[in-house]
Amino acid sequence: MEKDSKNTIRTRFAPSPTGELHIGSARAALFPYLFAKKNRGEFLVRIEDTDQKRLVKDSELRMLDLIKWLGMSWDAKPIYQSARTSLYKEYARQLVEDGKAYFCFCSEERLEELRKKQEASGVPTGYDRKCRNLNPAEVLEKIKNGEPHVIRLKVPESGKISFTDLIRGKIEFDFHNINDELLLKSDGFPTYHLAAIVDDHEQGITHIFRGEEWLSSVPKHLLLFQYFGWEPPQYAHMSVIVGKDKKKLSKREGSVSVDAFKSDGYLPEAIVNFIALLGWNPGDEREFFNLKELEREFDLAKVNKSPAMFDIEKLNHFNAHYIRKMGEKELLEKTKLFSKVDFSKYDKSFLQKETKVIKERMVLLKDFDELSHYFFSDIDVDKEMVKFGKSEWQDTEIGLEKTIESLAEMDDKKWESVDDLNHFLSEVVTVNGLKNGDVFWPVRVALSGEKFSPSPAELIWVFGKEESLKRLKNALNKIK
């Protein structure tokens, strides 16, 4: 079906490139992305880089790389506001001509003094509108003389403006409390307010998703839409994300940057799943959703306005799940970046078996080496560890001897199944009148050198006949 461009739903991700992509900004991309997909709309990207003082070089590129890494894509080339300054200037001037904005010549020093006075006398801070009613001839004269100036929005002195937020419902603002906001700065750069409104209009944005900290900007934005005679978009202000201490997560906390999660070995699937549930829920017990499923299921009516809790345990739970679900080959490929093991030195089937066993225990990709070091290096078995708590030394010795004997003779076919190997070990126990602890425990320790490891049958399965026998014999010699 052809898309009707007029009725197409368009959302956007509008980051300011001032540092890392943190979890909150990733959600400010994910929700509008999902909403656009769900409604067969378009998801656009706009880089809000007009605040020259706060820019961090190339951070928008890193942010966009991470958005892509998470699996999202956008429907048109990103636009950069810094390349569009003359456009914003024109729009600002148009507002002045229409009497909806005005030139202001107040110096920084005057504004600073004003603010201090207001603070001292306990009144709300804000511009006192000194320049709002200058006569036109005077304005012209000052401009001609090259006096530095800004352009400010003319906010009505009284009255109210209201709108219905798609997450929060109806919200009303009193103009009386709203400042004559800056639209154009003295360096000719627009403020966020002006540039965002012009671009939301020019990009045909129909739905805006952003954090609730932007709520107080809405009356100014709606006023601007009204002044320009443009239809305003709908707004959905997402809840704050709080830590376990109920305090707002800080942007500056390295621990919530998507890049830091990536370097620790979190998978994009897990992060996306986790972020989706920061405010949205499917309305039932399901918790695992990949991006494609989210694109189908995301429903604005199920987005919550109460604070979303950031719980790292939950993210770990998702990551472990997606690691377990991944094929061994793919997992090995991803693990390479985190491992010191030279995989090229090992047999493919050994590596795949090893990964199959280890992935059940991995939470992060970087866990691989710690969990599997004994597969890739010789071990020095601690003699005392070989005997299980309640077992006798003699039975332990017999257990190992019998395992070695029977393993050496075992039909090759049995090596192919962990269940068969498990069964085999149980047989060694019963046939020789031993206890589980006389066989399973020493075999585990002989092969891994550890108290905690995959099961003894899994270890044998991974190592294969030759290496298993070698390790079992080593341990037997040690305790003899």
Q: Between the CA atoms of 364, 366, 372 and 377, what dihedral angle is there, to the nearest 10 degrees?
A: 180
Of 162 and 216, which has the nearer Cβ to ligand GLU?
216
Least Å from the CB of residue 319 to ligand GLU: 27
**Which of 11, 15, 22, 233 lies at the binding interface for ligand GLU (CB under 6 A)?**
15
| Of residues 210-229, those binding ligand GLU (CB under 6 A) | 210, 214
Least Å from the CB of residue 17 to ligand GLU: 9
Number of Cβ within 10 Å of residue 253's Cβ equals 14
3-state secondary structure of 324: helix
Contact of 151 with 101, CB cutoff 8 Å: yes
**Which of 9, 14, 36, 44 lies at the binding interface for ligand GLU (CB under 6 A)?**
14
Segment contacting ligand GLU by CB under 6 A, of 9-17, 122-130, 333-341, 345-353:
9-17
- H, E, C per residue of 178-244: CCCCEEECCCCCECHHHHHHHHHHHCCCCEEEEEHHHHHHHHHHHHHHHHHCCCCCEEEEECCEECC
Segment contacting ligand GLU by CB under 6 A, of 8-16, 124-132, 246-254, 366-374:
8-16
From residue 121, give the alpha-carbon distance in Å to each of 115, 178, 278, 429, 462.
Answer: 10, 19, 41, 87, 76
Binding mask 161-200 vs ligand GLU (x if CB under 6 A, - otherwise)? -----------------------------------x----
Of 42 and 269, which has the nearer Cβ to ligand GLU?
42
Whether 251 is catalytic: yes
Backbone angles phi, psi at 106, to 5 degrees: -65, 135
Task: Classify burial at 298, counting beta carbons within 10 Å of its beta carbon; exposed 0-12, middle 13-18, buried 19 or more.
Answer: buried
Decide: is 20 part of the binding site for ligand GLU (CB under 6 A). Answer: no
- Residue of 251, 334, 356, 478 marked active site: 251
Segment contacting ligand GLU by CB under 6 A, of 12-20, 141-149, 356-364, 464-472:
12-20
Of 14 and 331, which has the nearer Cβ to ligand GLU?
14
Of 235 and 310, which has the nearer Cβ to ligand GLU?
235
Query: Rounded distance, CA 20 to CA 12, Å?
Result: 19
Backbone angles phi, psi at 218, to 5 degrees: -55, -50
Contact of 287 with 311, CB cutoff 8 Å: no
| Of residues 55-74, those binding ligand GLU (CB under 6 A) | none
Least Å from the CB of residue 33 to ligand GLU: 13
Q: How many residues bind ligand GLU (CB under 6 A)?
A: 7
* Amino acid, single-letter form, for residue 292: K
194 token code pair: 């002006």
Number of Cβ within 10 Å of residue 329's Cβ equals 11
Of 70 and 195, which has the nearer Cβ to ligand GLU?
195
**Which of 27, 35, 37, 48 lies at the binding interface for ligand GLU (CB under 6 A)?**
48
Of 17 and 449, which has the nearer Cβ to ligand GLU?
17
Of 215 and 469, which has the nearer Cβ to ligand GLU?
215
| Of residues 449-478, those binding ligand GLU (CB under 6 A) | none
**Which of 10, 11, 16, 362 lies at the binding interface for ligand GLU (CB under 6 A)?**
16
Least Å from the CB of residue 172 to ligand GLU: 20
Q: In Å, how far from its chain's centre is CA 381?
A: 42
Least Å from the CB of residue 278 to ligand GLU: 16
Least Å from the CB of residue 183 to ligand GLU: 15
Segment contacting ligand GLU by CB under 6 A, of 13-21, 141-149, 326-334, 448-456:
13-21
Of 191 and 355, which has the nearer Cβ to ligand GLU?
191
Give the residue nearest to ligand GLU (CB).
210
Least Å from the CB of residue 245 to ligand GLU: 24
Query: Rounded distance, CA 11 to CA 34, Å?
Result: 9
Nearest to 220 by CA among 171, 175, 164, 168: 175
Task: Classify burial at 433, counting beta carbons within 10 Å of its beta carbon; exposed 0-12, middle 13-18, buried 19 or more.
Answer: exposed
Contact of 72 with 275, CB cutoff 8 Å: no
Contact of 185 with 191, CB cutoff 8 Å: yes
Q: Which residues are catalytic?
A: 251
> Which positions lie near ligand GLU, rule CB under 6 A?
14-16, 48, 196, 210, 214
